[in-house]
Amino acid sequence: MAPSIRLSPAARSLFDEPLAIVVQGLAPRQPVTLRASLRDETGELFQACGRYQAGHDGELDLARCPALPGGSFSGLEPMGLLWALQPQKPFWRLVKRDVQSPFVLQLEVLEGHGEPPGRLLAQAQHERAFLRDGMRRVPVREGRIRATLFLPPGNGPFPGIIDLYGSGGGLPEYRACLLANHGFAVLALAFYAYEDLPKEMKEFHLEYFEEAINYMLKHTQVKGPGIGLLGISKGGDLCVSMASFLKGITATALINGSVANVGAVLRYKDITIPPLGINTKGIKVNKSGIADIIDALNNPLEGPDSQSFIPLEKAECRFLFIVGQDDHNWKSEFFAVEGSKRLEAHGKEKPEIVCYPGAGHYIEPPFFPMCAASMHLFIGKCVVWGGEPKAHCEAQIDAWQQIQAFFHKHLTGKPSGTSSKL
């Protein structure tokens, strides 16, 4: 019997779903190397490999066989070939630009543990998709809004969420559509560097975000009376500002967000919140020319910088802070704790704070490989994001469950039966 790879699901799975990988037809105890390859839409190659030894029956099940030292990961890691993918081009981050097409994963079984490994024994292809069958993707160009709405299959109405990314700008859709697969109506909202929106991050007007909230609240497929907000990085503090000043928000989840306004002036009617000051002396650059910016921001509790602290005590919603304790973009845990203190001091309910040791800044949906360092558009150089790959991967899986449970609880009143594993 020739070696072959058996996958479950067989041909196609959603990107945030686990994939079971089994190799059959090997010799008893045969040493092999498994290699995974994936090209992003720009053609850049990501690869990972694991060194294994088949069982006595010639079968190799990644859920039961630990990877041996010497590959991209070791130990019992059924999804190691996905989360350990690394770009062949340094400082390149895996993102999905067109959610309507899947990523294609190539799997190879190679003889032995050599460098390079031996001859090819078996190979398989698998599609990692972003849209569930029946999912509706609706480009939104209403008034000033530049966005994409994802609606699950079925009649609805569905609990509604607005999803914001960070200072990279543009209109990333992949997290919004993966979340919509779980029964939410999710609006991926662009706020700069997209179509006719401002090209640079100089100032933001909350009236733009208010338009997006009103669009969602009026939509026949969105269940009221309020909606949720989900933001990472700069998108996080924009969500805090939206929740603090605008009506119709029931639940706000932040992934490594700030409770101070960062990077650009924020305006709403006659209110102006200045950005938190930056101390460039706090930026450390290592021998490779990569910057560590964790100490670059001023303290929003001191002096004139306290003007940048967002008055989140005005918010009428529940908060969830997802914190990577090895975030090197900024002090996410400090922001979460200070936000909590501010809410409690004003008699508001404590936010949920979920901390992940060993997780860096970019906590993405499950199975995205950790990006240790890449270009920071706002800083204008390569920065370190923090994180340790295995811990970061585990954080992504758990945080994804936490976020869904939080929104289910506060937008539908139903728990989804999720508890933290970490």
- Taking CB atoms within 8 Å and a gap of at least 24, the contacts of 113-118 are 113/31, 113/33, 113/51, 113/68, 113/70, 117/33, 117/35, 117/49
The CATH homologous superfamily for domain 136-412 is: Alpha/Beta hydrolase fold, catalytic domain (3.40.50.1820)
Catalytic residue check, 361: yes
| Confidence at 420, pLDDT banded by 50, 70, 90 | very low
Nearest to 222 by CA among 166, 151, 322: 151
Rounded Cα distance, 138 and 355, in Å: 34
C-alpha dist (Å) from residue 387 to 26, 345, 357, 381? 36, 32, 8, 19
Rounded Cα distance, 23 and 7, in Å: 9
pLDDT tens by residue, 50-77: 999 999 999 999 999 999 999 999 999 9
**What is residue 156's predicted lDDT score, i.e. its pLDDT?**
87
Averaged pLDDT, 260-277: 97
Do 233 and 210 touch, CB atoms closer than 8 A? no
Rounded Cα distance, 378 and 275, in Å: 13
pLDDT exceeds cutoff 80 at 422: no
Q: Which one of the listed residues 219, 361, 392, 408 is annotated catalytic?
A: 361
Q: Using the 8-state DSSP alphabet, how is residue 29 labeled?
A: T
Into which CATH architecture does domain 4-129 fall? Sandwich (2.60)
Q: Which one of the listed residues 327, 332, 376, 398 is annotated catalytic?
A: 327
pLDDT exceeds cutoff 50 at 225: yes
- Domain locations in the chain as residue ranges: 4-129, 136-412
Q: Which residue has the tokens 């945080």?
A: 399
pTM value > 0.85: yes
Q: Which one of the listed residues 13, 72, 233, 241 is annotated catalytic?
A: 233
